[in-house]
Structure 1
């Protein structure tokens, strides 16, 4: 009777855990999430840990049916530890944004090309405004163009700072 209630409680916990971890099931991380003593899988996907827990639940059910008391005790304890660990992991997932794979070199190279294009366009816009400024005679139009040139210089400076940061990241990744 106790084992039937235990199996039912573990089944309900696993079902709730599958629902709770569903949004995270396909996300991979850089390193393994759990200790090798707790989970045998080498995968970094939450789905793999859920599958292993489900497999252990099935093994527990078979051990109960076959009357293997020692195995039932060990599997029940091990499965409850796995469930608790997965519950903790899903509860703290939002805090682990750092645990995602580093961006690829191709992504950073695309960003560099994009920022170089921004820089080229900003330079062209600044030169066009400076050319207009040289031709304008009215004071109010000159003031507007001077403000636009100043704003474009600020944007150009920020763009160049971003480009230098991207270059540093690429240098680190290609070492």
Structure 2
């Protein structure tokens, strides 16, 4: 009976995973997403891997050998965990599958990402400067801040230039 409850719990996790995956665009990627030991599917969409988990869960219910069931239950659990992590990180992955924006729009997006990262670096240095105790560390952090602020200013100039070019051509922003 323990396998029946385990199978029910895995089925509930799989149902939650299906809901989570349905909320994300399921575009193709260039290479398989997982190691062949975890998934035999060589698909490139999350739905491909979801189908394999469903098949394995079905096999778990029809298996008679306890060792095989334990191995398969562990595999299904690992597959669900891996697919949950993948689904949670979808918004972080670049979208090569989406229709390509114009080259200027792509450049603008790239510059905005640089701007965001530079601002995060500046914020980090400012926090460290506020906590710095020695004069040498303070000087180094101030120097780092000057360099980063110069980069941020150049990045913003580039953003403005591309944004201006986009507005002249009437391309979507």
Q: Report the TM-score range of the alignment, normalised by the length of the smaller protein.
A: 0.5 to 0.7
Q: Shift in Å at residue 77 of structure 1?
A: 0.6
Secondary structure of 2:5's partner?
Answer: helix
In the TM superposition, residue 71 of structure 1 has moved relative to its aligned partner by: 1.1
Evaluate the alpha carbon distance shift between residue 51 and residue 4 of structure 1 in structure 2; reply closer, same or farther with a 3 A threshold. same
Alignment of 1:79-94 (within 5 A): 79-94=76-91
- 1:78 paired with 2:75, answer yes
**Count of residues in Structure 1 that have an aligned counterpart in Structure 2:** 112
Partner in structure 2 of residue 15 of structure 1: 15
Give the root-mean-square deviation of aligned CA atoms.
3.0
- Conservation of the 8 A alpha-carbon contact between 1:28 and 1:44: yes
Q: Which consecutive segments of 4 or more residues in structure 1 shift more than 6 A?
A: none
Q: Residue 23 of structure 1: CA displacement?
A: 2.8
Secondary structure of the residue that 1:85 maps to in structure 2?
helix
Name which of 90, 95, 113 aligns with 2:92. Answer: 95
Distance in 2, matches of 1:91 and 1:52, equals 19
Per-residue displacement from partner, 1:5-39 (whole Å, max 9, x unpaired)? 10110010011110111133632112211111111
Question: C-alpha separation between the residues in 2 aligned to 1:25 and 1:62?
Answer: 33
Rg (Cα) greater in structure: 1
Match of 1:5 in 2: 5
Matched residue SS, 2:23: helix
In 2, the alpha carbon distance for the partners of 1:102 and 1:9 equals 35
In structure 2, relative to structure 1, the CA distance for the partners of 1:103 and 1:27 (3 Å cut) is closer
- 1:56-67 maps to which residues of 2 (within 5 A)? 56-63=56-63, 67=64
Q: Distance in 1 between matches of 2:27 and 2:97?
A: 10
Partner of 2:26, secondary structure, is coil
Aligned partner of 1:130 in structure 2 is none
